[in-house]
Amino acid sequence: MPYTVQIKVMPLTELLDPQGKAVMGAIENLGITGIGDVRIGKHITLQVNADTEADAKKVAEEAASKILANPVMEYFEIEVEA
Amino acid sequence: MPYTVQIKVMPLTELLDPQGKAVMGAIENLGITGIGDVRIGKHITLQVNADTEADAKKVAEEAASKILANPVMEYFEIEVEA
């Protein structure tokens, strides 16, 4: 069965995010108000063929921990859609 | 009231995603099976101060369309969390 898996990879909260800081500055320069903080990471969509939703999640977790995220600087969250 | 806004910015589906293709190749080389397609985009988390959830969404939409996403190559989806 085909599943769509959404993976969010973000910089660890205890680390600075220079890209986010730069975009925050640009947002202020544009005059957009009300935004207090910006953090920027990656979003990855996988098409996974698996028997069950749990299997699809397992495959995505393997891919995320082996190649998509760097655990020294990033954490990831996985969401499986049928 | 503070809201956390999640913004997903992905390459338009009708466009090729060379970064995703490269990661797909790496996943195959690692011997991970069952993954048919990989697409890679950005994930942005905003902290927004607004009176209502709708206001927070409006601010995020302005930021996304003015600076976070390039409409020629990308689309975005916004999700507001209380």
Instruction: Select from B40, B55, B58 the residue whose CB has the most chain A CBs within 10 Å, as the one to mutate to test that interface.
Output: B40
Q: Which amino acid is at B40?
A: I
Per-residue pLDDT for A82 more than 90? no
Per-residue pLDDT for A81 more than 90? yes
Q: Contact A32/B62, CB-based, under 8 Å?
A: yes
Instruction: Select from B4, B23, B35, B39 the residue whose CB has the most chain A CBs within 10 Å, as the one to mutate to test that interface.
Output: B35
pLDDT digits (tens, 9 = 90+) for A9-31: 999 999 999 999 999 999 999 99
Per-residue pLDDT for A72 more than 90? yes
Query: Rounded mean pLDDT of B58-76?
Result: 96
Reported as half-sphere exposure (CB side, CA atoms, 13 A), residue A6 has a value of: 11
Name the domain count of chain B: 1
**Residue B65: per-residue pLDDT:** 96
Closest residue in A to B24 (Cα–Cα): A46
Per-residue pLDDT for A43 more than 90? yes
Closest residue in B to A39 (Cα–Cα): B45
* Sheet architecture: strand order including A2-11: A74-81, A2-11, A35-49, B35-49, B2-11, B74-81
pLDDT digits (tens, 9 = 90+) for B22-57: 999 999 999 999 999 999 999 999 999 999 999 999
In 3D space, the residue among B54, B41, B43, B59 whose CA is nearest the CA of residue B82 turns out to be B54
Q: Contact A63/B9, CB-based, under 8 Å?
A: no
Which CATH number covers residue B46?
Answer: 3.30.1280.10
pTM of the prediction? 0.92
For residue A72, give its domain range.
2-81
Provide the β-strand partners of residue B47: A37, B4
ipTM at complex level = 0.91
**Residue B12: per-residue pLDDT:** 97
